[in-house]
Structure 1
Amino acid sequence: MASTVGAAVPPAADRPSIGVKLAHGFGAAAFGIKNNGFDYFLLLFYGTVVGLEPGLVGLAILIALLFDAVSDPLVGYWSDNLESRWGRRHPFMYAAAIPVAVTYFLLWNPPDLSQTGLFLYLTVIAVLIRTLITFYETPSSALMPELTRDYEERTSLQAYRLFFGWVGGNVMSILIFGVLLTGPLGLRDREGYETYGIIGGVLIFVAIMISALGTHHKIPSLSKPVRATEQFSLRRLFREMVETLSEKSFIALFLSTVIFSIAAGLHAALAFLLLNYFWGFSEFQIFIWTITVILSAAMAFAIAPWATRRLGKKKATISLGLLAFTVQPLPVILRLFGLMPENGDPILFPLVLGINIIDLALIIAVQTVAYSMIADLVESNQVKTGRRTEGVYYAAITFSRKTTQGLGVLAAGMILSIVAFPEGAAPADVPEDTLWWLGALYAPLLLCLWLVSLYILSRYRIDKSQHEANLAALNERG
């Protein structure tokens, strides 16, 4: 077992300053921008604008996901054990800034290639950007348990992170619909996406640098790597990661997050197709829709810490989730049975929009509380193993969040292929039967995924009292 010298209790203050919370949280805008593009526009861009078969888009992202299964935990383990004058996390954050920005630009500016060429191009770029974003997101996220040990304060830190992640991505959606895709081609304007790639790359670089520089002064008070008593080897690496990831509460949270991410990815990949084709909303209405996401994120910013204080993390997540996840697919299900206003009815847009604003706020709050539960696993594992392994835990969650683009986009692409959704068609040219089957496959699958995610989460066992007992045990060790 590794020595515990210098690792028992992180010396960082239990209540980080607003400046630290803002800097740490703002960095999530980089992941949010990347996710927004992958979740909402990648399938639309490559499938209907560039002309790559939707199933191949999903396959390319799935292949990248397989690379993530190896690279993510390795990066997490590396950042847990790195010794440098800039600490364990910040060297990775600084190193990732330029490469992530460049690859994001390349994603939206593909050359003119055949189907095979486009598939290979997308696959390579997807592998690169998803690996490079791990070099930033995993160490950056892993800072959170080091910045505070307080049970509720960790939810507050995570609330800042999710707020900026959602707002950062949403700002790009507003840019897309309010500026870049306002020409006669609308959502099918290739040049608009190319400009989007340039702006997105620059903003990702800015977000990473602000976060790294804004938390740089905390490096001396962050946890130091534990010096192992045995020489490094692949056997030791594998054994330590198995010890870290075998805790039952982690397994429950990880699997729940994977299912959650698949559901979120399915919803996101089809979101604008549903808005434009299924509901018949105009591009101006979709623009209004994107703006209101900021309102939902602001509501979640308040809801998540409040729910944690009142209910505890697990109960808050399950209670908010049951409400949010049953409501989200409900408008589509009602439409399938003819119980929603027809497209073009003046009441339809405000009705669906109002439901989405409240429901999305609840979903973001669920994400916030659930992700903050990861931090409490760190001390639980430290009590058992003597090691602080924030990086490995957050690498697992980074991986699970990437399944949003992997399995979620794959499922969305398969649905589009099954219903034979026409490439590049205007909304009026898509048959009603195609749209009905799109909704019939989408809504029940989404509901099942959400509910399965909540059921798995119910197996998580660390509450506030257990967390405080873990901190007391570590304090006794000194």
Structure 2
Amino acid sequence: MNRTEKLPYKVKLGYGIGQMADSIPYNMFSIYFLFFLTDAAGLPAALGGTISMIALLWDAVTDPVVGHMSDTCTSRFGRRRPFMLVSLLPLSITMVLLFVPVAFGTAASIAYYVLIALLFRTFYTGFVIPYFSLGAEITQDYDERVTIQCMAGYFIYIAVWAVTAGPMVVIDRVVKSGVSYGNAWTIAAAVFAVVGLCCGLVSWRSLKGREMADQRTLHMDQRAVSLSSVFKSYLPLLKDKIMIYLILLRLTFIFSGAVSTAAFVYLMSSNLGLNEAQQALYWTFYSIIYIIAIAICNVLSNKTEKKAALIATVTLSITASVFFYFHNINSFGELIVFTCLCSLCSACFWTVGATLVYDYNEVVEFKGGKRQEGAISGLILFSQKVGSAIAIWLSGLLLSGVGYDGMAEVQTETVKQGILFLNTLAPAIISLTSIICVILYPINRKNFALLKKALALKNEGKEYSTEGFEKLL
């Protein structure tokens, strides 16, 4: 099946709304879980970082398994959508339980947060791998894929705004009504868990019938999932240089992003002294800036090339990060300027960068005769989780190493400098590897068009030529 037609707007919208069900729990965990553990649950930063790392490494392990399961699922309801539906409610429940301030003693509290975090990341994987895989199935058009990811990107930053500004508003108001600070976090998590659940259900319903129907019975002989079957499905992918470039790109970019994301709330609260209302105002500006950045990235990608857009925006972000490390971020205004300069990079990665993965699916189908959206998504998200896990763990260690104390009212200058490093210079250094991976990635608009044409002929049993896209094979 060759899907190159323009998608109906309601399908694009439905797919985009599903990003809310992904981004709300993702950002609650990435932005606030470590901060909650140190400043609400009272755990040391190193322990908080270790808990986050354990959960993310487990998430990484489950990614390939869920990807393989969704590729080989033979349900009459489709390969992807049943996983999305089954995962949504438990994902919402465990997100709330993550932000419950327990007081069982240090060891028992650690055990509680590790267990809930493992469950949370399992259900998150159960939703996001099939959802992300569907992006490659609903269209095979080179530019249309950018369009649907830009639609999803708008919802990413709507979710980011909701999940960053929103909790601070809820917490501020709930605390003023007499509820404890820790319990206010639980209420805030519950509010946004419900929002994420509703958006996920809307997306699940909107994508009915959009899976590639001829693929649902492709693997009828592989119903049993075993470690050997999972390994065999991934081995050819792991030998492919394009997949290696994609894995390294996602791992390094997510690593750099996770370092700054985990430390960003500390930058606002400790270095700049912003209260909850000021932080909520920042996140509102942040989301507006990024939504504008997505539109710019869409134009850049369509007018030039995906790789060129990524290289240009990552270079701008690195330059801004190095400048502000030495200049320092001294005010709310400078924080906004820093965000503006870095926004194009992040927006481009989450939209244009995601379609690099989608375009690789046709290469896999041409070489192996079958589509493996779930397996490819599983490997890519595996690399993201490993990068996030190590980054958050190292962030916690560095914060502890420079003397961060979540119970202290004022942090030392050494602590503030460490926080600034995590938000600026550290991500800039890591991002240099991302640029190299983008340069080496070989798929472009021209050779992708030739590949699709040959793939259509091959699937019809007709003669075809690999001229013009040999290096993709």
Q: Which TM-score applies when normalising by structure 2?
A: 0.90
Per the TM alignment, residue 256 of structure 1 is displaced from its structure 2 partner at its CA by 1.3
CA contact (8 A) 2:259 2:395 kept: yes
Residues 476 and 220 of structure 1: is their aligned pair in 2 closer, same or farther, counting only changes over 3 Å?
A: closer
Residues 96 and 437 of structure 1: is their aligned pair in 2 closer, same or farther, counting only changes over 3 Å?
A: closer
Residues 329 and 231 of structure 1: is their aligned pair in 2 closer, same or farther, counting only changes over 3 Å?
A: same
Secondary structure at 1:181 match in 2: helix
Q: How does 1:38-437 map to 2 (within 5 A)?
A: 38-182=29-173, 183=175, 189-219=181-211, 223-227=215-219, 234-328=227-321, 330-335=323-328, 343=330, 348-403=331-386, 405-426=388-409, 429-437=410-418
Residue type at the aligned position of 1:118? S
Of residues 359-368 and 149-158 in structure 1, the stretch that sits farther from structure 2 once superposed is: 359-368
Per the TM alignment, residue 470 of structure 1 is displaced from its structure 2 partner at its CA by 2.0
- What is the distance in 1 between the residues matched to 2:277 and 2:166? 12
Residue type at the aligned position of 1:431? T
Residue type at the aligned position of 2:370? R
Of residues 415-424 and 354-363 in structure 1, the stretch that sits farther from structure 2 once superposed is: 354-363
- What is the distance in 1 between the residues matched to 2:151 and 2:442? 25
Give 2:22's aligned residue.
31
Deviation per CA, 1:133-183, whole angstroms, max 9, x where unpaired? Answer: 111111111111111111111011111112212211320212122232354
CA contact (8 A) 2:172 2:276 kept: no
CA contact (8 A) 2:263 2:422 kept: no
- What is the distance in 1 between the residues matched to 2:250 and 2:332? 31
- What is the distance in 1 between the residues matched to 2:57 and 2:335? 36
Per the TM alignment, residue 461 of structure 1 is displaced from its structure 2 partner at its CA by 1.0
Give 1:3's aligned residue.
none
Secondary structure at 2:405 match in 1: coil
What is the Cα-based RMSD across aligned positions, in Å? 2.4
In the alignment, structure 2 segments of 5+ residues that lack a partner are: 461-473
Per the TM alignment, residue 185 of structure 1 is displaced from its structure 2 partner at its CA by 12
Residues 425 and 225 of structure 1: is their aligned pair in 2 closer, same or farther, counting only changes over 3 Å?
A: farther
Deviation per CA, 1:40-84, whole angstroms, max 9, x where unpaired? Answer: 111111112111121111112222233223311011011111112
Secondary structure at 1:209 match in 2: helix
CA contact (8 A) 1:325 1:447 kept: yes
The total of aligned residue pairs comes to 457
Secondary structure at 2:440 match in 1: coil
Per the TM alignment, residue 221 of structure 1 is displaced from its structure 2 partner at its CA by 5.1
CA contact (8 A) 2:233 2:375 kept: no
Q: Which TM-score applies when normalising by structure 1?
A: 0.89
Per the TM alignment, residue 28 of structure 1 is displaced from its structure 2 partner at its CA by 0.9
Per the TM alignment, residue 365 of structure 1 is displaced from its structure 2 partner at its CA by 1.9
CA contact (8 A) 1:163 1:298 kept: yes
Residue type at the aligned position of 1:443? T
Per the TM alignment, residue 373 of structure 1 is displaced from its structure 2 partner at its CA by 0.5
Give 2:463's aligned residue.
none
- Of 422, 426, 441 in structure 2, the residue corresponding to residue 445 of structure 1 is 426
- What is the distance in 2 between the residues matched to 1:169 and 1:450? 22
Give 1:20's aligned residue.
11
Residues 43 and 329 of structure 1: is their aligned pair in 2 closer, same or farther, counting only changes over 3 Å?
A: farther
Residue type at the aligned position of 1:400? S
Residue type at the aligned position of 1:430? Q
Residue type at the aligned position of 1:411? L
Deviation per CA, 1:335-370, whole angstroms, max 9, x where unpaired? Answer: 2xxxx6xx5xxxx32232133134224421232111
CA contact (8 A) 1:13 1:147 kept: no
- What is the distance in 2 between the residues matched to 1:385 and 1:151? 20
Q: Kindly, what percent of the aligned residue pairs are identical? A: 25
- What is the distance in 2 between the residues matched to 1:367 and 1:352? 22
Residues 402 and 207 of structure 1: is their aligned pair in 2 closer, same or farther, counting only changes over 3 Å?
A: farther
- What is the distance in 1 between the residues matched to 2:124 and 2:28? 13
- What is the distance in 1 between the residues matched to 2:232 and 2:160? 37
- What is the distance in 2 between the residues matched to 1:189 and 1:360? 31
Residues 166 and 397 of structure 1: is their aligned pair in 2 closer, same or farther, counting only changes over 3 Å?
A: farther
In the alignment, structure 1 segments of 5+ residues that lack a partner are: 1-8
Residue type at the aligned position of 2:332? F
Give 1:4's aligned residue.
none
Of residues 177-186 and 431-440 in structure 1, the stretch that sits farther from structure 2 once superposed is: 177-186
